[in-house]
Structure formats: structure tokens, C-alpha cells
Amino acid sequence: MVRLVMILLGVDYLRSRWRSVMTLGLLSIALGAVIFTDALDGSLYFPIIPFALMMLLEGLATLTVAWTGMGGQRKLRYVKGATFCLSALLVLFGGEHGNFVLSLIFGTLFLVDGALQIVAARVVRYRRWRLATAGGVLEIAIAIFFYQPYPDHYAGTVAYCVAFGLFFGGWNMILLAARVRRMAANPAVEGAANAAVQEETKPAESPFAGAVWDGPPGPNEAALTVHVWTPLGTAKSQPRRQLIVDRYIAAVDRNGTISTGHAALETPEGVYISLYPAVEIDRSPNDFARTLRATRDNDVPGFFQPDYATESQAWCPSTQQVRIRNYDPARLQRFWENYRRDTTYNLTYRNCSSSVARALEAAIEGASARAWGKGDGWKPLVRIMTTPELWVAAQVRKRAATMAWTPGLTLDYARALSMLADPRHSGWVKMARFAVATMYRSRQRWRAEEHAAAQARETESVAAERHPG
């Protein structure tokens, strides 16, 4: 999440506030330590009931406005609201059994995530895979801590979760402050090993400052477009459905042919990033596991497609598109000029999806600071930290970094970042506007009905005068 916050806010914004961010991180860790220690003996000073009530109110409020979201945002709000409500109800009415169920849920989440991270690190063998393995082991250790009843017989489950959240959040803030303290440019957007990509610039005042939109860009609006060809949509024959696998990894048709899909990025300025292997990689089931390794022996020559029209005509149109208004064409152009010098293709660490993800990060650097108030004050940081899509984007980025960027992950990542780069109206604002519009339409209808009734009465009166008998 540290790198993602650096991307969205930009180094210029964060560097001037690194002391405050560092202080907040230290306070977060200290508060987490107090809450964790308090829960160890089972006698809680932590205000568990007020906290559960706040969670319940937040969950209900989220469910109330969830319908105002669009696409994945709506689903995310429903999931968040339902999760908060369920957790709060288990605390308020579940008693010891509720705490036990919560411990099983949280422990299982840590266990699955840690095991998946270890397996992916061992299979893919990307850079720093040993560090990722250590992180997975830590998550499994936390899962075991939640599973076993010692020392408080599950009474401190919620307090432990809050403490771990404060630990990880504080650690991320300390890392963020340490990295931006003396930074002149943002390493979070590096894609090619050339410092020119990171050259600090002072862009002109953004036309997106303070802008809020009701939805994605219209067909006639200038916007960056992420094109995704999903594995299911590009299968040569009828695919065999495999839950999650055919969405995020690959689809297998009835002939056994594997389709991994594709991703590309296009801008109105003429940048088109679509990396292909120069020679088709053998993706039969027997050799697919070998090609997954992010090792140099799996590097092959690649080439970049010239434009979307050429690619879609030679293959097929993209099956999904994500469009973003608030991007920096100059930063993206510098990234592209350096990235295109190396045409190496690797199915795991340098493929079409990873190229699009890196280009997208270069394009939206500082987007949240530009959109939320010209980068003044703490509003940009508070807004992105309280936006659910930041957590989603961070989880997608983490999964891609520990496994591999795929078209499915790139699609989810682009959708989450579009909500952060192009801010939408809050659910409460939409609800208020909807309520006002409904009242206005009702008032207009009532007036029309009253007018029609008055005309009917006048007509009856005239008719009665003409024909008194």
C-alpha cells in the first residue's frame, strides 16, 4: 500500500508532510501495542461494545448507499457493509460463540492469504521471493494465534484485529515517511531502468482540481483507456468453466488449449502499449508450469503492437475497457519512450499486463492530489485512505507482485484506480440528489394533477351552465 499511496499522491505532496506521517505511524503502532497488551488477559478496557455499534452503523450506512455505486464499486460496498454488520452482530449478540466464529474467520483469511503467497513465491520465483515467503509465514503464524484459545479464550478477538490493523497501518506510514523524506522523484513508477522516467517536473495547474464526476468518461471525452481481452472472451473454442482460474489466470477450452487473455493501454495522444512475444509461447498444460517461472531462461524476444486498430483487426476487439480522465500525458510519454527500448518478454514478470500496470501507474502519479483540492492540506491523504478502492487496489497489486500480472488482475486494478483518479460523488450526495429529484418530480406531477382536476371542474361547470336541466 505504501507504493500505491506514493503513486496516487505524488512525492511532492508527501515530502512536505513526512514528519507528520511519521508521527502518525508511531502513534498508531503505540496505540496498537496498548490494545494488544490489554486484550491478552481477557479483561478488556477496550470499548468493545461502542466499537461494535460504530461498526454496525458504518455497515448499515454503507448498505444504505451501496446502490449508488457503479459496477464493481457497488459490489464492493455491499460486501463491506455486509461484513461490518455481520462482525458487529457477532460481537453484540454472539457472546463467546460469536468471538469464536470471528476468530475462525480472521484466522482462515490470514491462513489462506499466507499459504497462497508462499505457494506463489515458490512457483514463480520472482525477485525477493524469499522475503514474500517470510511474509506468508508471518501471516500463517497470525492465523494460528487466532485459532488457538490461549491466553483469553477468544475474548480479545476484535481487539487483536484492531491492534493488528494499527500495527500494519502504522508500519506502512513509517515506511512511507522514510521513503519520501529525501526523495526527488517517485521510484514507485519506475518501469525502465532509466532515471529520465523519474525526472521531477512542475506541472501546470490541473484542470481536474476539485472535480467530481457521476461516472466514467463518456464516449466523446478524452481519456486514457485500458483494453482487456479476458481469457474467457478469447478462448478459441468452448471453454471449460473453472471458478476464479478462468477469471484471473487462464481459460482452458475443450481441446486443452490455454488462453491467458491480453491487456493494452491507449491514450488520445497516440501512446499505445501492447507487448507481445515475437514467437508464440507454447502454452500446453505440460510446459505451462515451466514457463511460469520469472527466471532469465524464460525471457524471449517481444514486440509492441503499433495501435489498437491494427491489433483489434488482426485479432478481435477488446472485451472490457476502463477509461480514466485524470492522467498525466507527459509522465506517461516519458515512461513509454524509455520502456519501449527493451522488447524482452517474460510470461510472468514482463508481459502485456505488467507493462500496462506500470504504464498506468506512471500516468496517474499524483492524480488524487490533483483531484482533491490542488494538493493543499490533508484532504487528499484522508480521502484516499478512507476510500475502499484503495484497499482493493492494494490487495490486487500485492497479489500481482507475489504471483504475476494477468489480464484479470489488471482489469480489477484499473477499475479500482479509476475510482481514485476520477473521484465519484459520495453515496450520501447521490442519495440526497436522488431524493431532491424525486421530490421535484413528485411536486411537478402533483401540480399537473391539480391543474388537470381544475380544468375538469371548470369544464363541468361550463357544461352545467349551458345545460342546466
Q: Is the per-residue pLDDT at 358 higher than 90?
A: yes
Confidence grade of residue 191 (pLDDT, cut at 50, 70, 90): very low
Predicted confidence (pLDDT) per residue in 438-465, tens digit: 667 777 777 888 888 888 877 777 777 7
Confidence at residue 201, expressed as pLDDT on a 0 to 100 scale? 45
Predicted confidence (pLDDT) per residue in 64-122, tens digit: 877 765 555 577 678 878 888 988 898 888 777 888 898 999 999 899 989 988 887 77
Domain regions of the chain by residue span: 2-187, 189-421, 426-469
Confidence at residue 238, expressed as pLDDT on a 0 to 100 scale? 67
Residue with more model confidence, 361 or 255? 361
CA pair distance 114, 108, nearest whole angstrom: 10
Average pLDDT (130-153) is 88
Average pLDDT (113-135) is 81
Q: Give the chain's mean pLDDT.
A: 80
Predicted confidence (pLDDT) per residue in 366-425, tens digit: 888 888 765 457 778 777 877 778 878 888 888 887 778 889 889 989 988 988 888 776
Is residue 419 classed exposed, middle or buried when 0-12, 13-18 and 19+ CB atoms within 10 A define those classes?
A: buried
Confidence at residue 119, expressed as pLDDT on a 0 to 100 scale? 83
Q: Considering the chain, what percentage of its residues have pLDDT values greater than 70?
A: 76
CB 227 within 8 A of CB 266: yes
Confidence grade of residue 211 (pLDDT, cut at 50, 70, 90): low
Q: Is the per-residue pLDDT at 192 higher than 60?
A: no
Confidence at residue 431, expressed as pLDDT on a 0 to 100 scale? 52
Q: Is the per-residue pLDDT at 294 higher than 60?
A: no
Confidence grade of residue 196 (pLDDT, cut at 50, 70, 90): very low
The amino acid present at 411, given as its one-letter code, is L
Q: Is the per-residue pLDDT at 261 higher than 90?
A: no
Give the three cell numbers for residue 409: 488482475
Q: In what order do the strands lie in the sheet with 272-273?
A: 272-273, 262-266, 224-229, 320-324
Predicted confidence (pLDDT) per residue in 306-349, tens digit: 999 999 998 889 999 999 999 999 999 999 999 999 999 987 78
Give the three cell numbers for residue 355: 507493462
Confidence at residue 203, expressed as pLDDT on a 0 to 100 scale? 45
Residue with more model confidence, 45 or 34? 34
CA pair distance 288, 285, nearest whole angstrom: 5
CB 226 within 8 A of CB 322: yes
Confidence at residue 425, expressed as pLDDT on a 0 to 100 scale? 63
Q: Is the per-residue pLDDT at 199 higher than 60?
A: no
CA pair distance 414, 357, nearest whole angstrom: 8
Confidence grade of residue 212 (pLDDT, cut at 50, 70, 90): low
